[in-house]
Amino acid sequence: MALNIIVCIKQVPDPEHFDKISIDTRTGSIQREGILSITNPLDRNAIEEALRKKEEFGGTVTVLTMGPPQAKKSIEDALAMGADKGVILCDMAFAGADTLSTARVLSVGIRSLGDFDLIFCGNETVDGATGHVAAQLAEFLDIPHVTFARRINIVDEETAMVERSIENGYLKVEVKLPAVISVLKSINKYRLPTVMGIMEAAGKEIVELGCSVCESAGITEGEIGIRGSPTKVLEIFEPPQRREVEMIEGKPEEIARRIVKRLHELEAL
């Protein structure tokens, strides 16, 4: 048995630097200058899971992203971790996509690659954190999906057993392949690229696909990018801070006494 696995990844701004994001008061758009980009952390768990399944059963791991030209860096990192092949969907026409439009373009890119057994995604990204794309991608591909996966066992060529986290427990889900599965952090500990891996990655293929792949699939420009996105961002603003803080000062014993007194007054105890 050999598994043909596709991993969808996204390059995102480094969450360590999210507090540096500001609004350009002139244009009202987001200013993220000087913020480094990284591969979405959960997507690395998805790559790791694909590599482990390949190590167990044989096959290939293809990483796929949609993004600007610099997103190629995330593909290269994945190849250095051990993925076999990279695909980047890159075109100005894809820009400004919401999750529906993103899932549509990813599905077109995936269809153009031929047969596959599994698609892995991170359960959500750190920037948008919607968690929509895996299930929506499965809808466009007309295959089953499982989200919130914390364990995946491949039973045979046609079946996987998934532990799917829910609040205070999990669901045991039997899923027929091909399927889209999005993974949680707890599924594994991902590896870091080795020097050897980085050297080998230089010889691996990265395919670039533009919007002609959509045209040949019969998808019009109105269905992709910002035009194909039902949701529109009208405004971005800084969150309001509502509380007026009362600082309690003094010696520790005194502070403790005054806090407890104030909490009683505020009917919080």
Partner 1 sequence: MKDVMVWVEQRDNRLMDVSLEMLQKATELAAVLKENVSAVLIGNECKDLADELILYGASKVFLIEDSRLQLYQSGPYVRITADIISEVSPEIVLIGGTSIGMDIASRVAATLRTGLTSHCVDLYIEKIEGKDQLVHIVPGWKGNMMLKIICPEHRPQMATVRPGVMEKGEPDHSLRGEIVSINPDIRDGDFKAKTLEMVHEEVEGISLDDADIIVSGGYGLYSAGGFKLIEELADAINGEVAGTRPAFDQGWIPENRMIGQSGKMVRPRLFVSIGASGAMHYTTGFSKANVIVGIDRNPKAAIFNVSDLGVVGDLEKIVPCLIEELKK
Q: Pick out residues in 117-136 that bind partner 1 (CB under 8 A).
A: 126-136
How far apart are alpha carbons 169 and 17 in whole angstroms? 33
> Which region, judged by CB under 8 A, interacts with partner 1, from 56-64, 75-83, 198-206, 258-266?
258-266
Query: Which one among 2, 155, 199, 248 touches partner 1, defined by CB under 8 A?
Result: 248
Cβ neighbours for 61, distance < 8 A, ≥ 6 positions apart: 5, 6, 7, 47, 50, 51, 54, 82, 83, 84, 85
> Which region, judged by CB under 8 A, interacts with partner 1, from 53-61, 63-71, 170-178, 195-203?
170-178
Q: In this structure, are residues 157 and 179 in contact, taking their beta carbons and an 8 Å threshold?
A: no
Phi, psi of 111 (to 5 degrees): -60, -35
> Which region, judged by CB under 8 A, interacts with partner 1, from 70-78, 108-116, 204-212, 255-263?
255-263
Compute the least distance from the CB of residue 100 to partner 1, in Å: 6
Q: Does the footprint of partner 1 cover residue 34 (CB under 8 A)?
A: no
Residue 57-96 contact track with partner 1, rule CB under 8 A, x = bound: ----------------------------------------
DSSP state of 187: G
**What is the per-residue DSSP string for 102-137?**
HHHHHHHHHHHT---SEEEEES--SSS----HHHHH
> Which region, judged by CB under 8 A, interacts with partner 1, from 3-11, 74-82, 195-203, 223-231?
223-231
3-state secondary structure string across 86-103: EEEECCHHHCCCCHHHHH
Query: Which one among 27, 69, 168, 203 touches partner 1, defined by CB under 8 A?
Result: 168
